[in-house]
Amino acid sequence: MGDCVTTIAMRTMLAARTTLSLSQAVIDQPCRPKQVASFRFIVLTGATLIALLLGARMLGNQQAIAGWEAYAIARAVATGHGYSFPGENRRLFDQEDGPDAVKRGRFFPTAWVDPVYTYALAAIIRGTGSWHRVAGSCFNLLLFISVVVLTFECGCRIEGPRVGAVAALLVTVVLCGFSHRWVYELSNTLMAGVAVLTFAVAAQGLVSNPALTSQYRLGVTTGFTMLACPGATAFFLVALLVAFLACWPGWRSGLRSVIAVACAAILVLMPWAGRNYLVFGEFVPLRTGAGQITFIGVVATGATVEPQTLKGGVNPPWRARSAQDAVAKAQQRDERKALEAFQVPYARAIDGRRYGALNEAQRDRWFSEESRQYVARYPVLAAELAFWKIMAFASVTGIFGVVLMLCATLGGVMAIVRRRLDLFVLAMCIAAFMAPFALVVPYFARYRLPIEPIVVILAAATVSELRKSIKTQTTA
C-alpha cells in the first residue's frame, strides 16, 4: 500500500502546483445558467471515475483495510452486543480495574465514537458478512463522491457553477492525496465531511430564504451534523448566529428563528443524549473521549515542557524543549502512544480511589476537569501550546493546505468588509471547527479533512471576488 500512497501523493503535489492558476483561469470565464447542469455532470462523472480507480486499487490490496474504535463498536452492534466496546478495546480502563474490565469477549456500553457512521458500518457488517471490509471501503468511496458533488453544489450556490467546479477540483486533489486515510481506514472521515457540507448548504438556504421551513431544516441538519461529526459541536452556536443574522434587522423575527433552529436541533440530539444518560447517569450529548484527548493535548503535552506543572510529582513520559517542540513531538506515533499510556496511571496516582469507582463518562469528565484546572493555573503555557496546535492544524495537510487556509482566512476578512453573510457563514464554520484544536493535538490529516470542503469553497470564492475587484478597478 505504501507505493500506492506515495504515487497518489506525488501526483497530488504535481496537480496542486497547477491547480490554483488553473482555478483562476476557469473562474474568470463567464458562465450562463444553462451550463450548470453540464458542470454538475462533469463533476459527478469525474468523481465517479476517480472513485472507481481507487476502488480497483483497493480490491488488489484488501488486506490493508483496517478499522479502529468505530469498527470495533460496529462489530459489537452487528453481533448483537449493542453499542459497546469489546473488553480488549476499552478506553480509560486497565488491569487495575480487575481482569474482567478489559477481558476479551466481554462487552461494555460506550459512547466513545459518533453514532451515525458507526451504525451505518454495523449495518454493512451485518449485511455483507465476510465481505464487510470491502463493502465498508466501497461505502467510503460513495461518501467521497457525495463530498465532491456537495462541494460543487455549495460553491455553485454562493459564487456560481465555475467556482463550484473549481472547489470540487480542489477538494478532490486534497482528498486523493490522503486517500489512504479513508479508502483503507473504516472511519467516519468522509461521513463527517458530508455532514459538514449538508450543514453549509442548509445555512446558505436560510441566508437566501429565511422562511420557517428553512429554519427547521437548518436545525435538523445541525443536530445531524453534530451527531455525525462531534468535532463540529460548535456548529450549534454558528447555526443560532446564522438564524439571527438572516432575519436581521428585526430582532423579534431573529429571536423566533433562533428558537426554531435550537428546538429542531435539540429534538434530533435528544434520543442519543437520552440513551447516554440512561447508560452512564451523566449528560453526554454527543460522545465521550473529548476529556481524555484534551488532557493529552493540554496537561500531558504541557508537562513535557515544564514537568513541575504536574500534580503529585508525577513525571511525563518524555521531554520537550518548548511548546512548539512538544506539539511537534506529540504528532509522532511513539510519543503520542506514550502520552496515551500515561494518562490512566496519572489519574490513579493523583486520585486513584475515586477514579476507580467512575464509569467511562465520569472518567472522561475527570480528565476534562484536570485540563480546565491546568489551563487556569498555567495560562501562558496553555496559550503557547494552543498557538502551535492551531498552526499544526493549518499545516497538517501540507503546504497546499496552508495556501488554501490562508486564502480562506482572507475570505473571512473580505466577508466582513463586504458584508457577505453567505461567505461569513463559511468562515464561521471553519473557525468553529478549528477552535477545539487549541486544546487537542491534530495528530492526523483526517482530523482536518471534514472541514476541507468548506475551506476550498471559501478559498475559491475569495479568488473569484478578488479577480472581479481587480477587473473592475482596471476597467474604471
Name the band, by pLDDT with cuts 50, 70 and 90, for residue 353: confident
129-143 pLDDT, tens digit per residue, is 999 999 999 999 999
Both 163 and 312 in one domain: the answer is no
Both 201 and 311 in one domain: the answer is no
Name the band, by pLDDT with cuts 50, 70 and 90, for residue 476: low
Name the band, by pLDDT with cuts 50, 70 and 90, for residue 252: confident
Q: Are 7 and 108 in contact (CB under 8 A)?
A: no
Both 174 and 322 in one domain: the answer is no
235-244 pLDDT, tens digit per residue, is 999 999 999 9
In a domain, 84, yes or no: no
Model confidence, pTM: 0.90
Grid cell, residue 349, equals 496516582
**Helices 189-208 and 115-128 sit at what angle, rounded to 10 degrees?**
130
Window from 13-17, 50-54, 425-429 with minimum mean pLDDT = 13-17
On the question of pLDDT at 21 being above 50, the answer is no
- Per the DSSP assignment, residues forming a β-bridge with 444 are none
In a domain, 374, yes or no: no
Both 186 and 211 in one domain: the answer is yes
Q: What was the pLDDT predicted at 10?
A: 46
On the question of pLDDT at 4 being above 70, the answer is no
Both 24 and 168 in one domain: the answer is yes
Name the band, by pLDDT with cuts 50, 70 and 90, for residue 20: very low
pLDDT over 90 percentage in the chain: 81
Q: What was the pLDDT predicted at 18?
A: 44
In a domain, 380, yes or no: no
Name the band, by pLDDT with cuts 50, 70 and 90, for residue 33: low
CA nearest 114: which of 195, 230, 224, 285? Answer: 230
In a domain, 25, yes or no: yes
Window from 95-99, 292-296, 327-331 with minimum mean pLDDT = 95-99
Name the band, by pLDDT with cuts 50, 70 and 90, for residue 99: confident
Both 13 and 143 in one domain: the answer is yes
Average pLDDT rounded to a whole number, residues 369-398: 96
Mean pLDDT computed over every residue of the chain: 90
In a domain, 305, yes or no: yes
Out of 317, 352, 369, pick the residue that ends a domain: 369
On the question of pLDDT at 9 being above 50, the answer is no
Number of other residues whose CB lies within 10 A of the CB of residue 105? 8
Both 263 and 311 in one domain: the answer is no
In a domain, 111, yes or no: no
Window from 143-147, 164-168, 307-311, 352-356 with minimum mean pLDDT = 352-356
Both 220 and 257 in one domain: the answer is yes
28: left (phi over 0), alpha (psi -120 to 50) or beta: alpha
The single residue listed with the C-alpha cell 437566501 is 208
In a domain, 226, yes or no: yes
Residue 45's contacts (CB-CB under 8 Å, 6 or more residues apart) are none
Q: What was the pLDDT predicted at 5?
A: 40
Both 134 and 178 in one domain: the answer is yes
Average pLDDT rounded to a whole number, residues 153-167: 93
Out of 334, 369, 404, pick the residue that ends a domain: 369
Name the band, by pLDDT with cuts 50, 70 and 90, for residue 22: very low
Q: Which domain holds residue 415?
A: 2-64+121-282+396-475
On the question of pLDDT at 103 being above 90, the answer is no
Q: d(Cα 218, Cα 425) in Å, to the nearest integer?
A: 13
Window from 10-19, 85-94, 119-128, 221-230 with minimum mean pLDDT = 10-19
pLDDT over 70 percentage in the chain: 93
- Give Rg (Cα) of the chain: 23
272-318 pLDDT, tens digit per residue, is 999 999 999 999 999 999 999 999 999 999 999 999 999 888 899 99
Both 402 and 278 in one domain: the answer is yes
Name the band, by pLDDT with cuts 50, 70 and 90, for residue 265: very high
166-207 pLDDT, tens digit per residue, is 999 999 999 999 998 899 999 999 999 999 999 999 999 999
* Number of domain units in the chain: 2
Both 138 and 227 in one domain: the answer is yes
Average pLDDT rounded to a whole number, residues 42-63: 95
Both 243 and 335 in one domain: the answer is no
